[in-house]
Each structure stands twice: as structure tokens, then as C-alpha cells.
Amino acid sequence: MIDEFHVMYMYKKIQAEAATTDIKTLEQLLKNFRSVVNERREEYYQEIGEKKAHKLKMKRLQRMLKKMACDRVSPEDLKE
């Protein structure tokens, strides 16, 4: 299962550091946070099985595309 405590700890750490840290350090913390979240997500997908994982991945992609449409960003813009 996803280790929510660790993810929340990292999130709180980033929030605390954001007020007192330069951008470069903050970007490193965010990069670490994203890698932890991706790792936990993959572990969770393995636990629930292939079909359910595929379904969740598709839902996640649809949410991302909706958000991109709201922000007026197209996937083609990101390729450049």
C-alpha cells in the first residue's frame, strides 16, 4: 500500500522549506517528492493488479488532459 505518512511528511517538509529556501533547493525537494510519489504509485499498481492499474492510469491521464484543457495547454505545446 502507498505509504501515506511518508508522502505527507515530504509534502510538509517542502511546505516548510519553501518559505526559507532558494529555488534550486526547493526544486531538488520537489524532484525527490515526485520520485517518491511515482515509486509508491507503481508499488500500489502492482498490488492491485494489472487490469485495475490500467484503469487507474487511464483515469489519471484523463484528469491530466482535462486540467491541461482548462489551463489552455495542449500536449503538442509540451513537445516543443
For 9, the domain range is: 4-74
Residue 63 lies in a domain: yes
Handedness of CA 23, 24, 25, 30 (dihedral sign): positive
What are the tens digits of pLDDT across the range 8-26? Answer: 777 777 777 777 767 777 7
Total tally of structural domains belonging to the chain: 1
Average pLDDT estimate for 1-6? 58
Q: Length of the chain, please?
A: 80
| Whether the model pTM is above 0.75 | no
Residue 8 lies in a domain: yes
What are the tens digits of pLDDT across the range 49-75? Answer: 888 888 888 998 898 888 888 887 777
| CB-count burial class (<10 Å; 0-12, 13-18, 19+) for 45 | middle
Residue 79 lies in a domain: no
Residue 15 lies in a domain: yes
